[in-house]
Amino acid sequence: MARILGVDLPRNKAMRIAMTYLYGVGPKVSVDVLNTANVSLEKSTNDVSDEEIQEIRKALEAYKVEGDLRKDLSLNIKRLRDINCYRGTRHKRSLPCRGQRTHTNARTRKGKAVAIAGKKSIKAMK
Protein backbone atom coordinates (compact mmCIF):
# COMPACT_ATOMS: atom_id res chain seq x y z
CA MET A 1 0.00 0.00 0.00
CA ALA A 2 1.37 3.41 -0.95
CA ARG A 3 1.54 6.08 1.74
CA ILE A 4 2.13 9.65 0.59
CA LEU A 5 2.04 12.74 2.83
CA GLY A 6 0.51 10.73 5.67
CA VAL A 7 -2.38 9.44 3.54
CA ASP A 8 -2.81 5.77 2.64
CA LEU A 9 -3.73 5.55 -1.02
CA PRO A 10 -6.48 3.01 -1.77
CA ARG A 11 -5.50 -0.39 -3.10
CA ASN A 12 -6.25 -1.68 -6.60
CA LYS A 13 -6.81 1.75 -8.13
CA ALA A 14 -5.01 3.45 -10.97
CA MET A 15 -2.44 5.93 -9.68
CA ARG A 16 -4.10 8.88 -11.44
CA ILE A 17 -7.28 8.13 -9.48
CA ALA A 18 -5.59 7.24 -6.19
CA MET A 19 -3.62 10.48 -6.13
CA THR A 20 -6.86 12.47 -5.96
CA TYR A 21 -7.37 11.11 -2.43
CA LEU A 22 -4.77 13.64 -1.29
CA TYR A 23 -6.27 16.96 -0.19
CA GLY A 24 -5.58 19.58 -2.83
CA VAL A 25 -4.77 17.10 -5.62
CA GLY A 26 -7.35 16.87 -8.38
CA PRO A 27 -7.29 15.04 -11.71
CA LYS A 28 -5.08 17.61 -13.47
CA VAL A 29 -2.49 17.90 -10.71
CA SER A 30 -2.47 14.12 -10.34
CA VAL A 31 -1.60 13.63 -14.02
CA ASP A 32 1.03 16.40 -13.89
CA VAL A 33 2.73 14.91 -10.82
CA LEU A 34 2.77 11.38 -12.25
CA ASN A 35 4.19 12.61 -15.56
CA THR A 36 6.90 14.55 -13.70
CA ALA A 37 7.74 11.44 -11.62
CA ASN A 38 7.74 9.21 -14.75
CA VAL A 39 5.09 6.87 -13.33
CA SER A 40 2.47 5.28 -15.56
CA LEU A 41 -0.98 6.80 -15.07
CA GLU A 42 -2.72 3.43 -15.22
CA LYS A 43 -0.30 1.65 -12.90
CA SER A 44 -2.06 0.12 -9.90
CA THR A 45 -1.22 1.35 -6.42
CA ASN A 46 -0.23 -2.22 -5.53
CA ASP A 47 2.44 -2.26 -8.26
CA VAL A 48 4.17 1.03 -7.41
CA SER A 49 7.74 0.61 -6.14
CA ASP A 50 9.32 2.54 -3.27
CA GLU A 51 11.54 4.46 -5.70
CA GLU A 52 8.50 5.62 -7.65
CA ILE A 53 6.80 6.73 -4.44
CA GLN A 54 9.90 8.79 -3.59
CA GLU A 55 9.74 10.42 -7.04
CA ILE A 56 6.05 11.23 -6.52
CA ARG A 57 6.83 12.83 -3.15
CA LYS A 58 9.53 14.97 -4.74
CA ALA A 59 7.15 16.05 -7.51
CA LEU A 60 4.45 16.96 -4.95
CA GLU A 61 6.81 19.38 -3.19
CA ALA A 62 6.07 21.91 -5.95
CA TYR A 63 2.39 21.99 -4.92
CA LYS A 64 0.66 23.14 -1.75
CA VAL A 65 -1.28 20.09 -0.55
CA GLU A 66 -2.60 18.41 2.61
CA GLY A 67 -1.61 20.17 5.89
CA ASP A 68 -0.11 23.30 4.35
CA LEU A 69 -3.17 23.90 2.19
CA ARG A 70 -5.58 23.28 5.07
CA LYS A 71 -3.59 25.65 7.27
CA ASP A 72 -3.61 28.39 4.63
CA LEU A 73 -7.35 28.07 4.08
CA SER A 74 -8.10 28.25 7.80
CA LEU A 75 -5.82 31.29 8.19
CA ASN A 76 -7.55 33.01 5.25
CA ILE A 77 -10.97 32.44 6.84
CA LYS A 78 -9.66 33.60 10.22
CA ARG A 79 -8.34 36.80 8.60
CA LEU A 80 -11.75 37.47 7.04
CA ARG A 81 -13.42 36.97 10.43
CA ASP A 82 -10.96 39.25 12.20
CA ILE A 83 -11.43 42.19 9.82
CA ASN A 84 -15.24 41.79 10.03
CA CYS A 85 -15.81 41.91 6.30
CA TYR A 86 -19.04 40.59 4.82
CA ARG A 87 -17.59 37.17 3.96
CA GLY A 88 -16.09 36.94 7.44
CA THR A 89 -19.41 37.59 9.15
CA ARG A 90 -21.07 34.98 6.92
CA HIS A 91 -18.41 32.48 7.98
CA LYS A 92 -19.00 33.37 11.65
CA ARG A 93 -22.74 32.73 11.32
CA SER A 94 -22.27 29.54 9.27
CA LEU A 95 -24.19 30.98 6.33
CA PRO A 96 -23.34 30.83 2.61
CA CYS A 97 -20.65 33.36 1.64
CA ARG A 98 -21.00 33.37 -2.13
CA GLY A 99 -24.35 35.00 -2.72
CA GLN A 100 -26.67 31.99 -2.51
CA ARG A 101 -30.18 32.53 -1.21
CA THR A 102 -31.05 31.39 2.31
CA HIS A 103 -34.80 31.94 2.38
CA THR A 104 -35.64 28.44 1.20
CA ASN A 105 -32.35 26.61 0.69
CA ALA A 106 -28.95 26.45 2.47
CA ARG A 107 -30.00 23.59 4.77
CA THR A 108 -26.55 22.04 4.49
CA ARG A 109 -24.80 25.17 5.66
CA LYS A 110 -27.40 26.31 8.19
CA GLY A 111 -28.01 22.86 9.66
CA LYS A 112 -31.19 21.01 10.51
CA ALA A 113 -31.76 22.86 13.79
CA VAL A 114 -33.70 25.49 11.84
CA ALA A 115 -37.44 24.86 12.03
CA ILE A 116 -39.18 24.30 8.71
CA ALA A 117 -42.56 26.03 8.62
CA GLY A 118 -45.57 23.81 7.97
CA LYS A 119 -43.73 20.55 8.58
CA LYS A 120 -45.34 18.30 11.17
CA SER A 121 -43.89 15.20 12.74
CA ILE A 122 -45.50 11.80 12.16
CA LYS A 123 -46.23 11.37 15.90
CA ALA A 124 -48.18 14.64 16.00
CA MET A 125 -50.37 13.48 13.11
CA LYS A 126 -51.45 10.26 14.88
Question: What's the pLDDT tens digit per position in 24-36?
Answer: 999 999 999 999 9
Instruction: Identify the architecture of domain 3-62 in CATH.
Output: Orthogonal Bundle (1.10)
Is residue 2 within 8 Å of residue 63, measured between CB atoms?
no
Query: Would you kindly state where each structural domain of the chain is located, as residue ranges?
Result: 3-62, 64-126
Same CATH topology for 3-62 and 64-126: the answer is: no
pLDDT tens track for 80-97: 999 999 999 999 999 999
pTM of the model: 0.74
Please identify, in words, the CATH class of the domain defined by 64-126.
few secondary structures
